[in-house]
Every structure is written in C-alpha cells, then in structure tokens.
Structure 1
C-alpha cells in the first residue's frame, strides 16, 4: 500500500531513477539525429536508411517475450544498470571505429541492433521496477509516468536532436561519445537504487513457458490487448514516415542538418505539453475517451504532415503529434502497471512492447519502399490511413467503463480480488 506521504511526494529513490532516465534520454536524443545524418553521408538510398531504423527495433521482434521472462527472473535493478553499462561500452567502441575510419552501413546496422537489445532489457526491467517502487497505486503511477515522459520529451526530443546535429558538425563520432557518457552516468545512478525482490507465484517453469504465460494473459484481456494494439499499429504508421523524415526534411522542407534537429524538437515541445494535458483530459473525458481523442488526433496530424511544404507548418503538425503520443504514453502504461500482477509484470510488459515495437521495423521498411516507388509524401499518407483504422478497431476495447472496472479490481484490499481477463466488463 502507498501511504499518504507517498501519494503527495514521490520517494527519493524515484528521483534517482528519474535523473538516470533523463540523462540517458538526452544521449538517446543526440543519437536520434546523429545516426540518420551519419547514414545519409554513406548512402542516399531511402530503403537502406530505413534499415538503420529497423535494426534498432528488430530485437523486440526476435527476443521481446523471452526478455520479459528473464526480467521476471532476474533482479530488475541489476538488469537496468548492466544494460546501460553494456550500451556505453558498445558506443565507445563505435566511436573508436569511427575515428579509425571503419564505420560503414553494415557496421552501423550491427551497432543499432545491439543497442536495441540493451534497450529491450532496460525498458522491460524499468516498466516492472517502477510499479514496485511506487506501490502500484494508479494515481501515483500516472503522476510518475507524466514526469518520466515529460523529461524524456525534453531530453531526447527537444535538447538532444539539436545537440546531436551540432556535435555532428564537430565530428561524425562525437555524438556517440556523448551518448556513451550518458549511459555510463545512468548506470551509476541506477546501481544506487534499492533492490526490490519479485514475489513469485508458484514454481518456476521453463523460460518458454514463462514467456507464454505473459503473452496469454495479455491476449485474454481485451483492455490490455486494446492498449497494446494501438501502439503496435501506430508504430507501423509513424515509423513509415520517420524512416524517411531526414530526406523529407532535406528535399521537401529544404532544411540543413541543424534545421532537421530543430524539426525533431518541435515534436518534443508538443510531447511535453501532452504530458501536462494527460491528467486533465482523463478527468474530463475519462481515460478511455482521452485515449480515443489522442488516437484520432494522431491520424489527422499524420495526414497534414504529408502535404506540408513549409518547415513551420511541418513543425506545428509534429508538435500536435507529439502531444497526442505523449498523452497516450502517460495514460496507457499507467493502467497496465496498475492492473497486472507483480510476478507477471515483466512478461506482460514485454509482450505489450513486442506488439508495439515489432511494428516499427515493418513500418520503416514499408516507408522506405513507398518513398522510393511513389515519393516522400506517400509514407505519411499510408500512416494516416493506418492510424484512422486503428482508432476504429480499438474503440470498443478501451472504454471508460472497462478501464474503471479494471482499476476498481486492482484497488481491492491487498489485491485480494486481482484483475483477471475473464472479469472484463463489456461496454
């Protein structure tokens, strides 16, 4: 249970985690703009560039559910700091290879893939660790996720991309050094967090059986499934455009490297606003209504971006997109982290992220192919159609009534009556 002091003030340990997440996110933002810029110096082929984006997301498709099963077996704090230390080491080696002139598209694909494995393990452990740290209280979780998401948007969206572009002008490998330092600092901060043992539920089965249990729980629960489907389809839509955004910015919006970094920052500015609006939207529309509004907004914004010819217009549209995505990422995970049993949290989180992230490589490749065949606007139109369809498909799955019933079950004294998929209330 969370006492009244915790309800008012998030614990000091959370602030250490918050600081670690912010520093790591700054490094991610630096890499977000630097990696495509480096790739664009090695090739002008949109399909090849899209593979860089796909490579970072591919580990979720290959190992996502198994990673969740491992997180539910391992100490989650240790998983996080070791993953950060490994990523710092990898980026340091990449920087040395760059100085030696040995970086190429194949080498960048390997780096992106290995970084993706580290992100898989860290993010899954973090999604499971934070609810333990905060006592699994929904209101506290939503407030904490708002802070984490807002900081992420400022760091990896607003500050990181321009910094990455600026550092890139100093040297092609300088951004990778900065990112390596951010991961090393994050590892030190996470290492100082308390160890929180995971409560087991019966004897441990095989790794595959454990992974299957998490996936089964997710797919039997219409609410959790609806929450997972939205980012899954959304990532196909968004990555189709993001994979060619650097070329769209250069050829259609006529932006240089610095301008591209600022364009990415526009989405982050909107993202910060979205984290602030999430709670207000849920109070006025209900969580289900707020999630439906953000989904529809994303579809309209993606279509508007497709036909943008001016950098200011494109920046404004990306800001709206960022606000909608951030509000969704505050509201949706907070529900899952509240209603899923602790011993299943890693596996269910990983299965949800697998659905969400595995759509990214597919979207990135589709975006590159569409851009090569039909022009740079078409991937964004494709994304808008997918987002509109996703909104309609998941509308009856993520309703206010269903969400309220699940949260009420989770608030039962000492979780004596935990939320179960078969307890879902139809709208």
Structure 2
C-alpha cells in the first residue's frame, strides 16, 4: 500500500504538471493535446505484451523494474529543465517513456492483488487501493504540480522521479513469489499465442466484451475532453479563467469526492446490484461533463469535480473488482491487459483528435461532442445487457455470475 501511495503521488504530479508545462510553451490545442496522447499511447502499443509477461514472470519484479525505469527517465528530464534544455519535445519524450513503464507497472499491480487478497474481499481491497491512488494522484499530487510549475518547473520531473524510485525500493520488501507457476509458464510458448488466447477469451465473454467496448468509448471521449480542457479552464483567454494553481485544486476537489466514492462502491453493489451500480456511475459521470461547458465558472467547476470523483471512483472500483473475479487466475494478466487495450487504447487517439477538432471547430465543440459520445457508450452497454438490468434487485446476479459464453 505504501508503494501504491508513493507511485500515485508521482502520477498526480506528472499528470497535471506535464500539461501545465505544455501550456506554458504553446497555446496550440493540437500541441498541448500531445501531452495527453504521449502518456496514453503506450497502452495501445504494449498492453497485450505487458499482460503476457505478467502471466509469465514475477509480477512484483516487473513493478520494481518499471518504477525504477520511470525514476531514471524523469531524473534526466529534470536535469534538462535545470540546464535550460527543456522544450516541448523533450517533455513529450519523457512523458512517453514514463507511460511505457506505467503500462507494465499497472497491469502487474492489478494482477497481483488477487494473489494477496481473498476473492470475497476484492471489492473492499480495491476500494482501499483506489483511495490511496486518489489521495496521491489528485488530493496531493495535482495541487502540488500546479505550485511546482510556477515555482520550479524542473521539480515537476524531479519529484516524481524520487517518488517512483522510493516506490520501487519498497516493493523489494514484499515477501514471497508472485508468479503463476503453471505448466504453460514453464514452457516456451510464443507470446503471440498467449496474447491470442487472451483476446479470444475476452471476445467470447459477453459481459467483459460489452464492458470493454463501453470503457473504450468513454475513455476515448474523456481523453479528447481533458486534453483540451486545460485551455478551456486556465489562462486569461480561457472561459473559466483559472490560474495554474487553481487548476490543480480542481483535481483536489475530484479527490475529495473520490475518497468516499471508492469506499462506498461495495455498499452500492450490495444495495443496488453490482451491474446496475456500475452503469449508473458511468451515466452520472457522462452527464456531469456538460456542466463546465454550460456554466463555465469556478463556482460550478469545483462541486462538479467532487461529484466526478464520487461516481468515477465508485465505477472504477466496481469494474476492476468484476474483472478480477470473472477472469481465471492463470489468464488474469493477459485478459486484463486485453480489456485495458480495448478500454484505454483509444485514449491517445482521443487526445490527439480533441486537439485537432478544437483547432478547427473550437474547444466547445470538443467538450460537447465528447459528452455525447460518453452518453452513447453508456446507452450501448445498457442495451447490450438490458436483461440483467430488468431483473428485480432481489434476483439480480452479481457480475461474477454473468459468465456469458465462457
């Protein structure tokens, strides 16, 4: 848990600090959106390979190497900033390499949790992990990034480098082996066969397939939305008119909501049914996207961010817990990564598309269009699994009972 907290604090500084640094270098929506694309394109290129390796190798060791690699790369970027050599392209390169390491670290982290927690406690455990992530990412890291960009830009890279390094060293203290010791892993099957097995399993599983496609649409639209939202919110020419430090406070407001949202996910699943609670969270998150567009004011932005946090965090805990229960242990790394490829692979495309559309049609067109895509995605999953929703709550199965064709 300590390693998770440190690495997510680093994530929070980098996630907010990189776009703010980009805005200080250019006001072009296309170029600013590249910061978001660079952070997420590794999911499109490497998610399947990361999952295959997580099912073959010790998952803890993968996380250690990934964290130390991020520390090294960001240390070099911080040094470049101190020497006056930092420009937009150096920034993008650092974010890209850090994103590559993040893919391997995150896939292994989600796959290692079921090896340490009983299945009945997965939702609670994921809620606690999500809480630690939100505290680090948004409650502390994001506002800290806003201050660092103004005070000393080099620390936007240097601080995460130290935190990732410490997280990697803490993982060395975990006892035991976190490797799936099966006959398959002892052989020398090509990675492509392992990857193909995962893709077939995901596509043949009705529930996982429907959730993955919907998550892909939501993440593509949100990537487009938030890739240019910084231009809508920050600066003298923006609609909301925030200062960089105030923009960091927006993600703090998100974290204020995310903390109870993460912890209440289990209660919501028990009270309303796991699937119904998840889709309701996705719907609420999508509807809230239009609020800063219709009422562009700090007085509405911060409460909206709190609500984003509540429903977004709850939905995230519910869908991660469902995947961990539905996917067999020996396939968890690969199918998890295949799901995340579908779910997150569109994020770099969305970020780049958001910048291009904003360049020609304006920021408002991107924000409204992204909201529409999110609502359409929720409608698709609602229709695909409507038979599950229409059942009375007393007889509605948990997601773990919806095994589809597998």
SS for the counterpart of 1:187 is helix
What is residue 185 of structure 1 aligned with on the other side? 166
Could you say if the C-alpha distance between residues 97 and 403 of structure 1 is closer, same or farther in structure 2, counting changes exceeding 3 Å? Answer: farther
Task: State the shift of 1:168 in Å.
Answer: 2.1
Task: State the shift of 1:42 in Å.
Answer: 1.4
Question: Does residue 1:404 correspond to 2:397, yes or no?
Answer: yes
Task: State the shift of 1:305 in Å.
Answer: 2.4
Question: Does residue 1:365 correspond to 2:352, yes or no?
Answer: yes
CA offset digits 1:222-274 (Å, max 9, x no partner): 11112222321111111111111221112111111111111222222222231
SS for the counterpart of 1:172 is coil
What is residue 197 of structure 2 aligned with on the other side? 213
Map 1:136-151 to 2 at 5 A. Answer: 137=119, 139-151=120-132
Matches of 1:152 and 1:403 in 2, distance apart? 31
Map 1:33-44 to 2 at 5 A. Answer: 33-44=16-27
Quote the RMSD (CA, aligned, Å): 1.8
Contact 1:34 1:161 in 2 (8 A): yes
Map 1:151-230 to 2 at 5 A. Answer: 151-194=132-175, 195-200=177-182, 202=184, 203-230=187-214
Contact 1:305 1:380 in 2 (8 A): no
Map 1:50-199 to 2 at 5 A. Answer: 50-135=33-118, 137=119, 139-194=120-175, 195-199=177-181
Task: State the shift of 1:140 in Å.
Answer: 0.8
After the TM superposition, which of the residue ranges 84-93 and 290-299 deviates more from structure 2?
Answer: 290-299
Select which of 255, 268, 271 maps to 1:281: 268
What is residue 15 of structure 1 aligned with on the other side? none
Select which of 322, 329, 344 maps to 2:316: 329
Q: Structure 1: 5+ residue runs without aligned partners?
A: 1-17, 410-418
Could you say if the C-alpha distance between residues 403 and 31 of structure 1 is closer, same or farther in structure 2, counting changes exceeding 3 Å? Answer: farther
Matches of 1:150 and 1:230 in 2, distance apart? 24
Matches of 2:164 and 2:183 in 1, distance apart? 34
Contact 1:201 1:343 in 2 (8 A): no
Q: Structure 2-normalised TM-score?
A: 0.93
Matches of 1:181 and 1:144 in 2, distance apart? 27
CA offset digits 1:200-222 (Å, max 9, x no partner): 25455211111111111111101
Between the two proteins, the alignment pairs up a number of residues equal to 394
SS for the counterpart of 1:73 is coil
Matches of 2:254 and 2:103 in 1, distance apart? 24
Contact 1:199 1:342 in 2 (8 A): no
Matches of 1:406 and 1:100 in 2, distance apart? 53
Q: Structure 2: 5+ residue runs without aligned partners?
A: none
Matches of 2:342 and 2:286 in 1, distance apart? 19
What is residue 300 of structure 1 aligned with on the other side? 287
Matches of 2:158 and 2:29 in 1, distance apart? 26
Contact 2:55 2:179 in 1 (8 A): no
CA offset digits 1:376-415 (Å, max 9, x no partner): 2222211211111111111144536798376359xxxxxx
SS for the counterpart of 1:321 is helix
